[in-house]
Amino acid sequence: MSRFANLAARASASVASNLTAAHEALPLKGAASPRASLFFPPAEPLTVALAVLAVVASALIYEQLNYQRKKAGLPGPRWTIPVIGKFADSLNPSLEKYMEGWNSGPLSVASVFHIFIVIASSTEHTRKILNSPAYTEPCLVASAKKVLCHDNWVFLNGKRHVDYRKGLNTLFTRKALSVYLPIQENIYRQHFNQWLSDPATKPQPYMMQFRDLNMETSLRVFCGDYISEEGAKEVSDNYWLITVALELVNFPFAFPGTKVYKAIQARKTAMKWFEHTARESKKRMADGGEVKCLTDAWIKAMLDAKAGQLEGEERRVLVRDFSDREIGMVLLSFLFASQDAMSSGLTYLFQHMADRPDILRKVREEQYRLRGDDVTAPLELDVLEQMEYTRVVVKESLRLKPPVIMVPYQANKSFPIDSGYTVPKGTMVIPSFWNALHDEKAYPKPDELIPERWLEGPNSPAEQNPKNYLVFGSGPHNCIGQQYALLHLTAVLGTASVLMNWEHEVTPLSEKVRVIATIFPQDGARMKFTPRAAPAPGTAPEVAASA
């Protein structure tokens, strides 16, 4: 290696001296120097070719040396592919390839387009990255700042991030969640009706239908009726362009036609509607209107803070004028953070339930017990909160197939991640959740869906290892929407279980995972839904559940 380096260095030195000589001799345009009139022969084509070759060779050797220095013996490709590194792999991510890396050691490395990447797979290393804000900050994926806007609150750090986030906590209080529940219910019941009237007689891929349910729920919960039907459709149709642009590393320039360019256009469409929502909500709330969605809840809290109706810390973080654009960017960040994760979670939830009728029966039993005879009655928040079994089914389904398998962070300074390795400044450092969530010490039989593991009391392995449950991350950037997410999935499953039966066509691809930012079954979850008759009044829950 060093021999090549020496050769290259010598070659470039000789080329450089030739070039200097040539430059000194070059007739400069407009220069009156007597030298300018001298005649110099053009550089020999061979010399130019050698010069170019030497420069390229030096750059390539430097790239490899730099990679080796940062790798410092960690598992990962022995050499990096010149310039593009593992770009081809990042275009076609697969769980199997990620697993190879995770299983090669608690830390492993890769490089894509000169971005050096350290991947953490153990619970300890993953948590260390998530909980070291002095050294690391989320960078999401490389395209995220272009897509979400550089000044989006999710890229804040330290105290500014903490304060901003405290202001947003008001959107996920019990009071706020009870405003959202009827909106959610209205939407998912409409979608159930559509699924039931699907004329297809055989199971069809339902992944996109689950996605549509989540998209419409999110838009209505966040924006209420401020977005028109056409607006909601426009945002929803375009949003897929954002999803597919969320590769770990994209083509570095957002040229027209690239995925990132298209995602930026989709973001502009969404922002148009979100800023409109902020503007209209401000007017309605100022006129004393009722809180009907998340944006209303936020603006009302700001008005209350201004009017002195909130106190202390709550007042401090809310008493300022958030512009329409800032509010729009928060809504965008919520949609961005929730849409794909919720869609993945819901897809696997329906798939897991169809594949495990014994568990679905227990869910139904709980639903009939809590809802009584009238399964069409609106769901109340306190009833939803009593659905203990349904909730642990959701929790376990998310553990088995965690929607988010990794969250890219960046080391903003040299980061001593353990006693043997220091992550170089500027490295993309990726905590991964799969191994923690499939660790058999915390979750015996980790590849099985066992909701009961969450009901075995405080001494059970699952409860003894709460640090392993990384579905929603950990540390200052952990998921702000997790309570809402769990309630939503519980409500959808609970209501679906009493209104519908569903069949899943298991194919060789059902258990194979497709990674598109979050994870999905490769066959798109082939399902068929049919109506489920309401039990006759007075039927015992266990009897109704077995029907």
Residue 516, C-beta contacts closer than 8 angstroms, at least 6 positions apart:
243, 244, 246, 340
Sole window of 77-85, 255-263, 334-342, 527-535 interacting with ligand HEM (rule: CB under 6 A): 334-342
Closer residue to ligand HEM (CB): 165 or 276: 165
CA–CA dist 221, 177 (Å, integer): 10
- Determine if 270 is a binding residue for ligand HEM (CB under 6 A): no
Q: What is the 3-state secondary structure (H, E, C) of 375-419?
A: CCCCCCHHHHHCCHHHHHHHHHHHHHCCCCCECCEEECCCEEEEC
Give residue 541's Cα distance to chain centre: 38
- Determine if 473 is a binding residue for ligand HEM (CB under 6 A): yes
Give residue 213's Cα distance to chain centre: 18
- Determine if 472 is a binding residue for ligand HEM (CB under 6 A): yes
CB of 478 to ligand HEM, least distance (A): 4
Report yes or no: 479 and 470 within 8 Å, Cβ to Cβ. no
CA–CA dist 231, 330 (Å, integer): 18
Report yes or no: 511 and 497 within 8 Å, Cβ to Cβ. no
Give residue 53's Cα distance to chain centre: 42
Site string for ligand HEM, 118-137 (x = CB under 6 A): ------------x-------
CB of 215 to ligand HEM, least distance (A): 12
Closer residue to ligand HEM (CB): 250 or 490: 490
* Sole binder of ligand HEM in the list 148, 359, 471, 545 (CB under 6 A): 471
CB of 499 to ligand HEM, least distance (A): 22
Tell me which residue has tokens 């903003």.
412
Of 95, 109, 11, residue with least CA distance to 52: 11
- Determine if 345 is a binding residue for ligand HEM (CB under 6 A): yes
CB of 413 to ligand HEM, least distance (A): 19
Of 70, 66, 46, 68, residue with least CA distance to 58: 66
Site string for ligand HEM, 427-466 (x = CB under 6 A): ----------------------------------------
Sole window of 34-42, 317-325, 329-337, 491-499 interacting with ligand HEM (rule: CB under 6 A): 329-337
CA–CA dist 14, 22 (Å, integer): 12
Mode of pairing for the β-strands spanning 428-431 and 115-120: parallel
CA–CA dist 403, 243 (Å, integer): 13
Site string for ligand HEM, 138-177 (x = CB under 6 A): x---------------x----------x------------
Which residues are bridge partners to 205 per DSSP?
Answer: 526
Sole window of 59-67, 190-198, 297-305, 401-409 interacting with ligand HEM (rule: CB under 6 A): 401-409
Site string for ligand HEM, 481-520 (x = CB under 6 A): x--xx-----------------------------------
Sole window of 24-32, 61-69, 99-107, 331-339 interacting with ligand HEM (rule: CB under 6 A): 331-339
- Determine if 469 is a binding residue for ligand HEM (CB under 6 A): no
CB of 80 to ligand HEM, least distance (A): 27
Please state the residue numbers annotated as binding site: 479
Mode of pairing for the β-strands spanning 500-504 and 526-531: antiparallel
Mode of pairing for the β-strands spanning 136-138 and 204-205: unpaired
CB of 516 to ligand HEM, least distance (A): 15
CA–CA dist 127, 473 (Å, integer): 8
Closer residue to ligand HEM (CB): 260 or 437: 437
Please state the residue numbers annotated as binding site for heme: 479
Quote the DSSP letter at residue 42.
P
CB of 341 to ligand HEM, least distance (A): 4
Q: What is the 3-state secondary structure (H, E, C) of 361-376?
A: HHHHHHHHHHHCCCCC
- Determine if 93 is a binding residue for ligand HEM (CB under 6 A): no
Q: Name the phi and psi angles at 470, rounded to 5.
A: -105, 20
CB of 12 to ligand HEM, least distance (A): 44
CB of 154 to ligand HEM, least distance (A): 5
CA 162, 429, 467 angle in degrees (round to 5)?
A: 65
Closer residue to ligand HEM (CB): 67 or 102: 102
One-letter identity of residue 324: D
Closer residue to ligand HEM (CB): 165 or 233: 165
- Determine if 206 is a binding residue for ligand HEM (CB under 6 A): no
* Sole binder of ligand HEM in the list 125, 262, 477, 528 (CB under 6 A): 477
* Sole binder of ligand HEM in the list 342, 423, 430, 442 (CB under 6 A): 342
CB of 131 to ligand HEM, least distance (A): 9
Closer residue to ligand HEM (CB): 154 or 498: 154
Which residues are bridge partners to 410 per DSSP?
Answer: 137, 428
Mode of pairing for the β-strands spanning 136-138 and 500-504: unpaired
Q: What is the 3-state secondary structure (H, E, C) of 67-85?
A: HHHHHCCCCCCCCCCCCCE
Sole window of 97-105, 174-182, 311-319, 472-480 interacting with ligand HEM (rule: CB under 6 A): 472-480
- Determine if 404 is a binding residue for ligand HEM (CB under 6 A): yes
Site string for ligand HEM, 233-252 (x = CB under 6 A): --------------------
Closer residue to ligand HEM (CB): 54 or 118: 118
CB of 164 to ligand HEM, least distance (A): 8
Tell me which residue has tokens 């492993």.
108
CB of 399 to ligand HEM, least distance (A): 10
CA–CA dist 365, 350 (Å, integer): 17
Q: Which of residues 184-203 bind ligand HEM (CB under 6 A)?
A: none
**DSSP string covering 256-309:** TTSHHHHHHHHHHHHHHHHHHHHHHHHHHHHTTPPP-SHHHHHHHHHHHHHTT-
Residues that bind ligand HEM (CB under 6 A): 130, 138, 154, 165, 333-334, 337-338, 341-342, 345, 403-404, 407, 471-475, 477-481, 484-485
